[in-house]
Amino acid sequence: IQLTQSPSSLSASVGDRVTITCRASQGISSHLAWYQQKPGKAPKLLIYAASTLQSGVPSRFSGSGSGTDFTLTISSLQPEDFATYYCQQLNRYPLTFGGGTKVEIK
Amino acid sequence: EVQLVESGGVVVQPGGSLRLSCAASGFTFADYSMNWVRQAPGKGLEWVSFINWDGDSTYSADSVKGRFTISRDNSRDSLYLQMNSLRAEDTALYFCTKDQFRYSTSWYKGLADAFDIWGQGTMVTVSS
């Protein structure tokens, strides 16, 4: 199952609303997770089951979608949110990740 | 503190072999399925291999099938990745990851759980 993320990169300002999309090549129900990775660090789980916020993750992060189309939204971008974001499908092995979306400071 | 610490990454020649280890602490290792994920320099994430909590079921990416073997020793709280016939394209930072849910049977249905804990990674470089 291929996952296509868009955009591959974006520039945004603190306080902006940011939306990242992830499209699956076939239906995956709600079996999707989102991760955040900062330079030189391991990825961190943000959202699982497409829309469930992982414990400890700020509520400005939200996820939605099912089937083939999914979104990750950051309602008000904070300085610590500048990072690369990946979606991952958990519907079928082999598991796959999207290509990533790098969120940069405008 | 829940922690995963990988080790064993080195520079190895093409065709060579290597075993990576991942030491778990802060949780009951034997209760959780585990994975290896890799990231080539400057690239995205690639899932490599899965092993269920009691070690009797595994899955691997096509790119490593027949060359890499995932295993675990629950008595030592450790996960391993035996890597044979290494290629230049195996050069990457290798992370071990913990599945979210205890005693999960998602794998039995061909599904997976998200990875809630990641190690810091160990670097494998395949070069002559």
Going by C-alpha positions, the residue among A94, A80, A98 that lies closest to residue A9 is A98
Contact A20, A71 (CB under 8 A): yes
Contact A95, B33 (CB under 8 A): no
Q: How far apart (Å, rounded) are the C-alpha atoms in residues B18 and B34?
A: 19
**Per-residue confidence (pLDDT) for residue B107, from 0 to 100:** 84
Going by C-alpha positions, the residue among B79, B71, B60 that lies closest to residue B3 is B79
Extended beta strands in B1-128, E state: 3-7, 11-12, 18-25, 34-39, 45-51, 58-60, 68-73, 78-83, 92-99, 115-118, 122-126
- Residue pLDDT, tens place only, B46-70: 999 999 999 999 999 999 999 999 9
Residues β-bridged to residue B99: B115
**Per-residue confidence (pLDDT) for residue B110, from 0 to 100:** 85
Q: Do B120 and A43 touch (CB under 8 A)?
A: no
Q: Do B114 and A99 touch (CB under 8 A)?
A: no
- Residue pLDDT, tens place only, B91-113: 999 999 999 999 888 888 889 99
Interface test with A, best of B32, B45, B65, B95 (most A CBs within 10 A): B45
- Which stretches of chain A drop beneath a pLDDT of 70? none
Going by C-alpha positions, the residue among A78, A76, A88 that lies closest to residue B47 is A88
Chain B CB within 8 Å of residue A79 CB: no
